[in-house]
A and B are shown apart, each in its own frame.
Chain A
Amino acid sequence: MSGVRLESLCKSFGDITAVDNVDLTVADGEFVVLVGPSGCGKTTTLRMLAGLEDCSSGRIFIGDREVTDVHPKDRNIAMVFQSYALYPHKTVAQNLGFALKIAKRPRDEIERRIRDVAEILGIEDLLDRKPAKLSGGQRQRVAVGRAIIRNPEIFLFDEPLSNLDAKLRTTTRSELIKLHKRLNATMVYVTHDQVEAMTMGDRIVVMEGGLVQQIGTPLEIYDDPDNRFVAGFIGSPAMNFFRAQIVVDASGCEARFADASLKLPETHPSASRADVVLGVRPEHLVIAPEFKTGVQFQATIEAVEHLGAETLVELGLEGEALTMRAGRLENIAPDQSVRVGAQAEHVLVFDAADGRRLRPQNGAGP
């Protein structure tokens, strides 16, 4: 097994820059997830790593070996495709053993390894079937089996769960996590599903517009996003945003919106701006807050969704819709006017112009 290093990786298609100066180091045995919306450059980055796309500039290392211009077949990489990319005319066993056959391994070794992999993935009964006779989940297993049978240095996954139904996606997700633990392999996984990213990755790389927006552990990304895009993309329901005016007077610096105001330290970088955007996660909003610090405002309940263990409340604030997530709430109904608040440490401040996170200089407060 080896790690991966991408240095200043760029890819352009004509005038369009799909991947813009990506730097990323994946440690040996690490599970890194590239996540972002469609067209953010995550799949292109993965394909460049696989050697299926040429790089416009930059360098790729697998371990200490530079592979930027090395043919895919010589990179010792295995990839699971979104469409699974099974060979339709070959049986499951032939699909699994294809790479070993190409590598001219002895027949008995190929058969033994096919059996081993089939046992790991629970597909022993499918070995004589053609892919057309398999369900989506079974195909997915065969595709994973085809990857692991070779013991490659790196595993790449290109949205491998996106064609599965919700239930199968959840079980396969946990199976892949277990597989990673069992193989202790270096894995790079691409998805647009932030739940997959949060649950599977040792670290997450959030991408947008060909740029890496933030790299960190799932909780780092969730709790401490670098910009408004990351804050809004990671988390479901998404973070609530309020546009606020900055008022600096003798009493200090405040961010004001609706009837609410948020005290900010005088040294806070937002003091030099006219507008900022405040962000609060749905679970950090509370009705009838008892705390005095932070931010409070009057809002109208637009809709209530009882999910059993928890309740999602849609709030209206000056024409904007906010989402609140709380434990089970039974005594609320639409059209009620309620006092809503969030503690100061749960309010994130973003630059209104470029969406950059504005962090307090001493690390304290919002």
Chain B
Amino acid sequence: MTEFLNDWGISLMVFLPLVGAVLLAFVPAKDEESIKLVALVASLATAAVGVLLIWNFDFDAAQTLQYDVNTGWIDIVNARYHVALDGISLPLIALTLLVVPLVIIYSWNHIPAPGNPKVFLMLILVLHTGMLGSFVAQDLVLFFVFFEVVLLPMYFMIGVWGGEDRLYAAIKFFLYTLFGSALMLVSFLALYWSAGSTTFDMVELAQEVAARDISLTTQVLIFGGMFLGFGIKVPMFPFHTWLPDAHTQAPTQGSVILAAVLLKLGTYGFVRIAIPILPEAAVEWAPWIGLLSVIGIIYGALGCLAQTDMKRLIAFSSVAHMGYVMLGIATLTSFGINAAIFGMVAHGLITGMLFFIAGSIKDRYHTLEIKRLGGLLVQAPRMGWILGFCTMASLGLPGLAGFWGEFPAILAAYNPADGVSQTLFRVYMVIAAIGTVFAAGYLLWLLQRTAFGTPSEEFAEDPEITDMVATEWISWTPLLILIVVFGFVPGIIFGITNPAVIEGLQALSQGAR
């Protein structure tokens, strides 16, 4: 069993959803129940393999790459099929494994117009493979391929099942991200050439870069390319303008996956690739990343305050929240990066939940215009309370998951790594702390305008507005429980990520000393 997992476990997990998608192709489009069932079974089977992997994961050695599979792939460019799991990947893999089945359950009675669940669910499953693959790839070319695999299904999800302005949003999303990945690819190639043209392997590249005397300018430029590629995906100010459009137009399922997992591909790239391979350049870039992060925190919050659409508001809040994550990363300390990974998971759970709620409100009210909403607590009290709970979690209330992404990141900014300006980061710290007030402001204001008060005349007698239904309970409860559990026992995530984060920063600390 263990041997099988070691050799095939990760590959099985990554490609099972794809198998599911292929199987779906053979199910007649009319038979919606079977389609949903096949999709759900595929995602659950994937999750089961994932659970087995996590169960057998050696948490005492979370810094080592486990279930390591490394075979030849495209020999001509020395690209290898190298997949493995370590403490940095594991929380994000677990998040993905959790979110996708929940999204499929939610789709049971929430297939967006124009219907066609068959293709819709196939796309989700393809997306699933791409996301899982990105988090386990240990080879740059392989990573790039998975990274791109993610793009297309999401493009179609937004473009076909999206809102009124879906085409514009979909193309904007696609090209923006493609632009970033083009630069990323250029950086990868530059890295390949300058590190001896022998390998695309992440670990080996880090060693090559450390061993060779590559000029700092080159490193900084290569980092810059990655920065744009990953930064657009995060998204960091000022490359975020695709996000509000994509989120607003995307169907609920798309928004949830986008917020919960896709955005993390960017931050994951920084933690997994950019910083370990190019630590010296990271030190040079850190003040700028920090600056854009804190601008994003305040700017995103102001953007939220200006919104009249609930979904767009939540989308903008992602800009602010990912600012905290990036601030943690920019400190280049293991404390900060641990906080960042925690922040990624917490944001995935909480913002994913908020998008779920927004979707369900839209289903009932057929609008998300904040002005027209109100009195949700009267008409759908349970959903109203869950919305209140999620806004509290999102504004970083201690005792819930959001806090452990936010406060430790602020704390870390007090004392960044050697070589990074302390004074500057202390200024960032204060700005980030001020950002928490704004976060409370826009979230509670949203809560007040949507949940409190009494329903407007327009909706007061609307029979369509009901409280939670079964699929909503099933798909939301796990997220809600995890938000509380991680809030009280943050050690679950910190304990897993820490060894791997320290390992990733080794090049940095050796260089600095």
A and B from one assembly? no
Chain A residues within CB distance 8 Å of chain B: none
Chain B residues within CB distance 8 Å of chain A: none
